[in-house]
Amino acid sequence: MKNSRINEVIEFVKKYYKIISVVLIVLMLPLIYLFVYSTGGIKYVYSHSMYIPILLAGIIIGPKFGVFIALSAGILLGPLMPIDTVTNEPQIVVNWMYRLVIFMIIGFTSGHAFHKIKMSKQRIDELMSHNQETNIPNTNFLKRIPSILKNDEYSLMTVLINNHNNIIDVLGTDIYHILLNQIYTELTSNLKDRTLIIQSDSNKLWVMKPYLDLTNDAKYILSILNKQWIINDIPLYVDFSIGATHVEHGFDLMNLDTFESADNSARYAQLNNISYMIHDENKLRKKSDYALLATFKHALETNQTFLTYQPKIDLNTMKPYGLEALIRWHHPEKGLIMPDSFIPLVEETKLIHLLTDWVLTNTLYKIKAFRALGIEVPISINVSAKNLYDPFFFERVMKNINSSGVDKKLIKFEITESVLMINPEESKNVLEKLVKHGVLIELDDFGSGYSSLAYLTQFPISTIKIDRLFMQKILINSQVRQIVKSAIQLSKDLGYKVVAEGVETAEVLDVLKEFNCDYAQGYYFAKPIASEEIEDWYRKALQP
């Protein structure tokens, strides 16, 4: 509240500073006249005080006012001021006339010079506060908010142009910049006064308008944007996502942190393929999530992360036949962080490549550790969509495996059904290259998506893992029971091995055996086991 009051005072002074300056400068003339007269007249040095209002008039108001004040000052210190107030001797005309001319030259010169400086500064400010390619105000323009926006409530909206890279790739940067300028012009012409639009990034605009209702404001912005855009007779498809938040005080918009909520909301809308998103803390990640993400690379480099291994059991022999590597993170301050808390964050960034590379490297070490004991243990690791569609993923993976000397059949990649469906054709190409070089592929979480087994036959998959959600309901829901039975039978008919995830009770195990399921994995057999204990556990589990 105190800061708001200070800002209001500053705004008032900025608005009326010229009037205040004129009044003060005019008042200085008679005061200096009286001061010079009281000190004995023009023959003493005190008359030079008159340069102060002359310079101020030229600098603050301009050359015309500087000349006017100089003329007034010259008359006050000329015919109206004696040389000596004691003798009352008047000045020689040529003396005060010469002084008056000098005063006028100083008033005009100072005013003209500072006018030039002011114009240059304004030009520099204009260049600094506007994007040079689009001529749209940038974040530096926010410094002008007190003179533009009132301290009222505002709707703050982030507008993302989702397909801006496609537009640039196809039509070029110049066309894209023209498009941005047209979008800016369209928004400013349709929105009311006291609206500010900022280009904060190449594909991002901030729109600040007086608050009415966030939903209606977002929809209104969309109605302006959802039109056919035409640049140089070329029709363009432009895909927008909007995030909206409520700002209680207009002056808060001078702080860049205020824009985080709208940015996060727009990002949420973009990722979830919806037109707009109103800020909701329950749906959006908090700053702590991003702080956690910022330390993840350091965690990989300093051994804060480690692997645990969950056994997979052959239901015919009831002996382990392999393991799944699972990453964990022991944070120095937050303690143990489970994968669900950080992997979704990492998957949205390029850090997922570092994570997968780290898991693969450590898994290969573990396979070699088992081999030193005379045990060949296949271990599977999870691969994300970003990994699969990374053009360097295949080469990087094969280089790592080949340099380790590990038999390729002992390393398996688990890929979820949803990952395959993002880009089926690209998925198929990458998986076929991996399989051709000896790496086995397992389909993870089958049944959590919408793809049929018949559709999945186009992919080079060796094993189907049935999602754990089915195991939770298999004893209480006859339909789920029948789905699991049919999925197992069809998978085996198509030549796949079948793993049931999330087995936690003997009753569920009995049902799976009845359905002739090949393998199972879950807490009934073992929770994920620490790296330093897994060799002993596995060796003992193999014993009769």
476-507 CB burial, b ≥16 within 10 A, e <16: eeeebbebbbebbeebbeeebbbbbbbbeeee
User: Residue 279 — pLDDT band, cuts 50, 70, 90?
Assistant: confident
Domain-embedded: residue 509:
yes
- Find the domain containing 73 and state its range: 2-128
Query: 68, 103, 128: which is the final residue of a domain?
Result: 128
Task: Answer whether residue 541 shows pLDDT above 50.
Answer: yes
Domain-embedded: residue 194:
yes
d(CA 57, CA 295): 57
Count the domains in the chain.
3
Instruction: Clarify whether residues 119 and 242 are in a common domain.
Output: no
Instruction: Clarify whether residues 392 and 422 are in a common domain.
Output: yes
Instruction: Clarify whether residues 120 and 145 are in a common domain.
Output: no
d(CA 90, CA 79): 7
> Tokens in use for 72?
């007034």
Instruction: Clarify whether residues 47 and 108 are in a common domain.
Output: yes
Cβ within 8 Å of residue 155, ≥6 positions away: 207, 208, 209, 210, 211, 212, 214, 217, 218, 244, 245, 246, 247
d(CA 297, CA 164): 29
Domain-embedded: residue 134:
no
CB 32 within 8 A of CB 69: no
Q: pLDDT (tens digit, 9 = 90+) per residue, 325-354?
A: 999 999 988 889 888 888 888 887 888 999
For residue 155, which phi and psi values (nearest 5 degrees)?
A: -90, 120
Instruction: Clarify whether residues 274 and 308 are in a common domain.
Output: no
Instruction: Clarify whether residues 293 and 265 are in a common domain.
Output: no
Q: What is the mean pLDDT of residues 263-285?
A: 78
Instruction: Clarify whether residues 221 and 238 are in a common domain.
Output: yes
Domain-embedded: residue 133:
no
Nearest CA-CA partner of 390 in 342, 422, 435, 345: 422
* Residue-level pLDDT at 1: 46
For residue 81, which phi and psi values (nearest 5 degrees)?
A: -125, 120
In terms of pTM, does the model score above 0.75? no
Query: 251, 284, 317: which is the final residue of a domain?
Result: 284
Q: What CATH number has the domain bearing residue 248?
A: 3.30.70.270
Q: Which helix (H) or strand (E) holds 393?
A: helix 393-404
d(CA 478, CA 489): 17
User: Residue 119 — pLDDT band, cuts 50, 70, 90?
Assistant: confident
* Residue-level pLDDT at 28: 93
Q: pLDDT (tens digit, 9 = 90+) per residue, 201-251?
A: 889 999 988 888 888 989 999 999 988 898 888 888 888 999 999 888 777
């807490």: which residue's tokens?
523
Instruction: Clarify whether residues 423 and 452 are in a common domain.
Output: yes
| Least confident residue range of 28-37, 57-66, 401-410 | 57-66
Instruction: Clarify whether residues 279 and 296 are in a common domain.
Output: no
* Residue-level pLDDT at 435: 94
Domain-embedded: residue 198:
yes
Domain-embedded: residue 209:
yes
Domain-embedded: residue 487:
yes
Query: 107, 128, 149: which is the final residue of a domain?
Result: 128
- Give the three-class secondary structure for 91: coil
Domain-embedded: residue 86:
yes
* Residue-level pLDDT at 234: 84
Q: What is the mean pLDDT of residues 271-285?
A: 74
Q: What is the mean pLDDT of residues 105-131?
A: 80
Instruction: Clarify whether residues 298 and 270 are in a common domain.
Output: no
Q: pLDDT (tens digit, 9 = 90+) per residue, 31-51?
A: 999 999 999 988 888 889 999
Instruction: Clarify whether residues 390 and 453 are in a common domain.
Output: yes
How many Å is the Cα radius of gyration of the chain?
Answer: 38
Cβ within 8 Å of residue 524, ≥6 positions away: 503, 504, 505, 506, 508, 509
Q: What CATH number has the domain bearing residue 415?
A: 3.20.20.450
Alpha helices, H only, 39-92? 51-56, 63-76
* Residue-level pLDDT at 121: 72
Q: pLDDT (tens digit, 9 = 90+) per residue, 19-29?
A: 888 889 999 99
* Residue-level pLDDT at 463: 93
User: Residue 521 — pLDDT band, cuts 50, 70, 90?
Assistant: very high
Q: pLDDT (tens digit, 9 = 90+) per residue, 137-161?
A: 888 887 766 656 666 788 899 999 9
CB 63 within 8 A of CB 115: yes
Instruction: Clarify whether residues 50 and 148 are in a common domain.
Output: no
- What integer best gives the mean pLDDT of the chain? 87
User: Residue 419 — pLDDT band, cuts 50, 70, 90?
Assistant: confident
* Residue-level pLDDT at 157: 92
Distance between alpha carbon 448 and the CA centroid of its chain, in Å? 30
